[in-house]
A and B are shown apart, each in its own frame.
Chain A
């Protein structure tokens, strides 16, 4: 923004989370400029941007250069914001972010713990630019990396990526530079460049935020790779549900073509490259790269054995470089700041940053980008603000549905590709779901296995039949019909699926089971031996009661009980009638005094 810094700019978050909370209405209200109340240098100074990150407090309105961020803004607040903070220099206190720790209102959101520990590299433009504006991207060094690359030898560009130590952000963690090098070395043509935007993990939106918030960044990464390996055609495979991503990418591709960044003879360099968007068909397994390639080819989305890498035989049997959205968005930055600078962040084996979508039982939910090697504790407690209410942290599930659950004892784990794998989980594409003591770990394993039972492609026996069998056992345990031999059988089948399944989905599918068995075996034993679900989740194995010592008779549980099973006088301890109770858990969730217990 540099020289224009005197000018007031309004950034309205129109990421998916904020849109769901009325972000577009807020943006429109600014655009309508009620009563011509304020003058901006140009209408470009009101920007609908991508995700600002702290989704639990959106929609956001950020005013620059003063750097005021208002939270949970409604369209009805816009007139007041214009009057006081744009025309005037007054703060609207009630709209400022309230820091959960200090309880103070904060003007500059960049300074709160949620943001101050983050390092935005892949997300460097997301939330700051209008994703529909090529000019906005150009103003932030857009396409400078491509210009730089085009002046270098292709081998030198690949070497830069190798030296940076960039590893695939989609979950595999394969060194990106080596992948490019392998493809560069092949002589067969045509070659293809593919971007994997089939983000299917429940609760994950890292890639969506980049596709929606900074689409040119992805295109630039792909263009640089196309130049280095000699490809003329690229595909971006976008999860079908991501209509916003498709729209943003379509606009970006068309603008890039119009301005000579894509098409024939790009920037006069002789490079020809174009990109086509392919929408997914709604199958989680198509996030697996060979299944994705099969899907682009028009075949059923089933993976194939990768004993020959896609860099040699990929799309239509031709050399193909396939990387994930976040990986692509790191590429231009590496060229801009240099491999050395990029590699100065991170751990020995994992360089740079990683974007996580931090969700679940955590105060600040949202999109988080931290240097590799940041501890889980910092991510969950400092950035995330810990577990809400008086509940205790129990586990964090990383890596999507086929990731593992990591217990409190490992919270100081420095997060990178290798450490998460060693802990029995995985980086995956960066999902991070926090669970509190109201979570039953057996039920969690059952839930993810149920997801995977529907989302496995069903091609190979270990995955299809192994998941079916493990799910059957878990359902039995949750319903109170488990036996001790079940645990051995779970481990036995789990090990086979882990080693014998065809693709990464299958090989990681037992993670939810094996990791919970490893770290929360006592919960399995409680279910099986004592017929008790300690978290009070499995209905057949739960019975609730109210601790008379802790209950102050506020009556909230009685009021909210859907079957009138809670009785008691005001200000007197209440009791639960177990003959009526349907074990929905409403009372236990409501109680601020933790008086509702599981027997």
Chain B
């Protein structure tokens, strides 16, 4: 089907969202809670666009709005720019301690106001960490509470038995608010300590013991499988050596 984005006609596939269709064109719609791996959540509302269909317009979240024939999309209007500016302002006020939000606050030309700032907060509640953890299959963290008290945590803030210490949550976090401390082969994350395992080739720590046990269990691999012994870099090297022998 054909849709019009900022005046440019593009071919879109049924079932995809406006954001997905737009990304292919190179037109930029800013997002905060979107990640290709998890799809749209519709929670940050930063990707709002104006959609016109049959003469009537509405503002929608482009990450969840499925394309349909004949729609016309505007990715920037005064109304949408104002929404984005206010979201950047509100999230900065929530998490002024994150460099990410400080940058966004300036980029969107937010004006000063006297709303209270929590000098220590970094989390913008985009939930990418929660999605990453769910995608890993652990689901050790989730949002807890509701309303303005909502936050990400393990159940009752205890050390979670489900956590494998993989730190995918911290990896995906845009504001760097998830603390991962590594000291003496011990990784501390979400109030729990994990013993690190060193790569058999280079000797660098590359995973937690629990993470490897989890992978072994889920993938039904033998204990001597490369994935369970080697870091990503060394696995690549081993693979390259194998390919060399094929060629040679």
Chain A at the B interface: SS class: helix
A305 touches B61 (CB 8 A): yes
| CB contact under 8 A between A493 and B86, given known A304-B64, A459-B43, A472-B116 | yes
Cα distance A188–B28 when bound, in Å? 36
Q: Which one, B88-96, B158-166, B204-212, B240-248, is touching chain A?
A: B88-96
A454 touches B147 (CB 8 A): yes
Instruction: Give min CB distance, A283 to chain B, whole Å.
Output: 7
Cα distance A308–B64 when bound, in Å? 10
Would you call B149 an interface residue if the criterion is a C-beta within 8 Å of the partner chain's C-beta atoms? yes
B124 / chain A contacts, CB cutoff of 8 Å: 461
Instruction: Give min CB distance, A478 to chain B, whole Å.
Output: 15
| CB contact under 8 A between A464 and B64, given known A472-B115, A500-B45, A500-B83 | no
B42 / chain A contacts, CB cutoff of 8 Å: 304-305, 460, 502
Would you call A396 an interface residue if the criterion is a C-beta within 8 Å of the partner chain's C-beta atoms? no
Would you call A485 an interface residue if the criterion is a C-beta within 8 Å of the partner chain's C-beta atoms? yes
Cα distance A581–B61 when bound, in Å? 52
| CB contact under 8 A between A462 and B66, given known A453-B148, A469-B93, A472-B115 | no
A321 / chain B contacts, CB cutoff of 8 Å: none
A460 touches B146 (CB 8 A): no
| CB contact under 8 A between A461 and B90, given known A469-B115, A483-B114, A499-B79 | yes
Would you call B185 an interface residue if the criterion is a C-beta within 8 Å of the partner chain's C-beta atoms? no
Would you call B189 an interface residue if the criterion is a C-beta within 8 Å of the partner chain's C-beta atoms? no
Residue picked from B90, B91, B93, B147, most chain A C-beta under 10 Å: B147
B86 / chain A contacts, CB cutoff of 8 Å: 462, 466, 492-493, 496, 500
B90 / chain A contacts, CB cutoff of 8 Å: 461-462, 465-466, 469, 493
B148 touches A307 (CB 8 A): no
Would you call A166 an interface residue if the criterion is a C-beta within 8 Å of the partner chain's C-beta atoms? no
Would you call B133 an interface residue if the criterion is a C-beta within 8 Å of the partner chain's C-beta atoms? no
B87 touches A455 (CB 8 A): no
A285 / chain B contacts, CB cutoff of 8 Å: 146
A452 touches B60 (CB 8 A): no
For chain B, residues 60 to 96, give those with C-beta under 8 angstroms from any C-beta of chain A: 60-61, 64-66, 79, 82-83, 86-87, 90-91, 93-94
Would you call B113 an interface residue if the criterion is a C-beta within 8 Å of the partner chain's C-beta atoms? yes
Would you call B228 an interface residue if the criterion is a C-beta within 8 Å of the partner chain's C-beta atoms? no
A456 touches B147 (CB 8 A): yes
B146 touches A458 (CB 8 A): yes
A460 touches B93 (CB 8 A): no
For chain B, residues 209 to 242, give those with C-beta under 8 angstroms from any C-beta of chain A: none
B48 touches A453 (CB 8 A): no
Cα distance A467–B148 when bound, in Å? 8
Would you call B23 an interface residue if the criterion is a C-beta within 8 Å of the partner chain's C-beta atoms? no
A452 touches B91 (CB 8 A): no
Q: Mark A479-492, 1 if CB is under 8 A from B, else 0.
A: 00001011001001
Q: Mark A511-548, 1 if CB is under 8 A from B, else 0.
A: 00000000000000000000000000000000000000
| CB contact under 8 A between A465 and B147, given known A307-B66, A308-B66, A500-B45 | no
Residue picked from B32, B66, B114, B145, most chain A C-beta under 10 Å: B114
Cα distance A228–B48 when bound, in Å? 37
Q: Mark A248-267, 1 if CB is under 8 A from B, else 0.
A: 00000000000000000000
A465 touches B64 (CB 8 A): no
| CB contact under 8 A between A499 and B143, given known A304-B42, A462-B45 | no
| CB contact under 8 A between A283 and B45, given known A307-B60, A461-B87, A496-B83 | no
A485 / chain B contacts, CB cutoff of 8 Å: 113-114
Residue picked from B86, B142, B145, most chain A C-beta under 10 Å: B86
Instruction: Give min CB distance, A16 to chain B, whole Å.
Output: 26
Would you call B125 an interface residue if the criterion is a C-beta within 8 Å of the partner chain's C-beta atoms? yes
A460 touches B148 (CB 8 A): no
Q: Mark B135-170, 1 if CB is under 8 A from A, else 0.
A: 000000011011111100000000000000000000
Would you call B44 an interface residue if the criterion is a C-beta within 8 Å of the partner chain's C-beta atoms? yes
Instruction: Give min CB distance, B4 to chain A, whole Å.
Output: 18
Would you call B59 an interface residue if the criterion is a C-beta within 8 Å of the partner chain's C-beta atoms? yes
Instruction: Give min CB distance, A408 to chain B, whole Å.
Output: 33
Cα distance A285–B148 when bound, in Å? 13
Would you call A468 an interface residue if the criterion is a C-beta within 8 Å of the partner chain's C-beta atoms? yes
Would you call A594 an interface residue if the criterion is a C-beta within 8 Å of the partner chain's C-beta atoms? no
Would you call A457 an interface residue if the criterion is a C-beta within 8 Å of the partner chain's C-beta atoms? yes
Instruction: Give min CB distance, B21 to chain A, whole Å.
Output: 14
A464 touches B44 (CB 8 A): no
Would you call A300 an interface residue if the criterion is a C-beta within 8 Å of the partner chain's C-beta atoms? yes
For chain B, residues 18 to 70, give those with C-beta under 8 angstroms from any C-beta of chain A: 32, 42-46, 48, 59-61, 64-66
| CB contact under 8 A between A499 and B83, given known A465-B94, A485-B113 | yes
A464 touches B125 (CB 8 A): yes
Cα distance A300–B145 when bound, in Å? 10
A460 / chain B contacts, CB cutoff of 8 Å: 42-45
| CB contact under 8 A between A307 and B83, given known A454-B147, A462-B45, A469-B90 | no
B148 / chain A contacts, CB cutoff of 8 Å: 453-454, 456, 458, 464-465, 467-468, 471
A499 touches B116 (CB 8 A): no
A300 / chain B contacts, CB cutoff of 8 Å: 142-143
Would you call A405 an interface residue if the criterion is a C-beta within 8 Å of the partner chain's C-beta atoms? no
A456 / chain B contacts, CB cutoff of 8 Å: 146-148
For chain A, residues 308 to 328, give those with C-beta under 8 angstroms from any C-beta of chain B: 308
A496 touches B82 (CB 8 A): yes
For chain A, residues 19 to 55, give those with C-beta under 8 angstroms from any C-beta of chain B: none
Would you call A368 an interface residue if the criterion is a C-beta within 8 Å of the partner chain's C-beta atoms? no
The one of B45, B87, B91, B149 that contacts A502, using a Cβ cutoff of 8 Å: B45
Instruction: Give min CB distance, A537 to chain B, whole Å.
Output: 24
Would you call A596 an interface residue if the criterion is a C-beta within 8 Å of the partner chain's C-beta atoms? no
Q: Which 8 A-B pairs have the closest CB atoms?
A: A458-B150, A465-B90, A496-B86, A305-B64, A468-B148, A456-B147, A305-B42, A500-B45
Could you list which residues of chain A lie within 8 angstroms of chain B, going by C-beta atoms?
283, 285, 300, 304-305, 307-308, 452-462, 464-469, 471-473, 483, 485-486, 489, 492-493, 495-496, 499-502
Question: Mind listing 29 A-B residue pairs with CB under 8 Å?
Answer: A304-B42, A305-B42, A307-B66, A453-B148, A454-B148, A454-B149, A455-B147, A456-B147, A456-B148, A458-B146, A460-B44, A461-B44, A461-B45, A461-B90, A461-B124, A461-B125, A466-B86, A467-B147, A468-B148, A471-B148, A473-B115, A489-B113, A489-B115, A492-B86, A493-B90, A496-B82, A500-B45, A500-B59, A502-B42
| With A453-B147, A465-B87, A485-B113 already in contact, 9 other A-B pairs whose C-beta atoms are closer than 8 Å | A307-B60, A455-B146, A458-B125, A464-B150, A465-B148, A469-B90, A469-B93, A472-B116, A500-B45
Could you list which residues of chain B lie within 8 angstroms of chain A, going by C-beta atoms?
32, 42-46, 48, 59-61, 64-66, 79, 82-83, 86-87, 90-91, 93-94, 113-116, 124-125, 142-143, 145-150
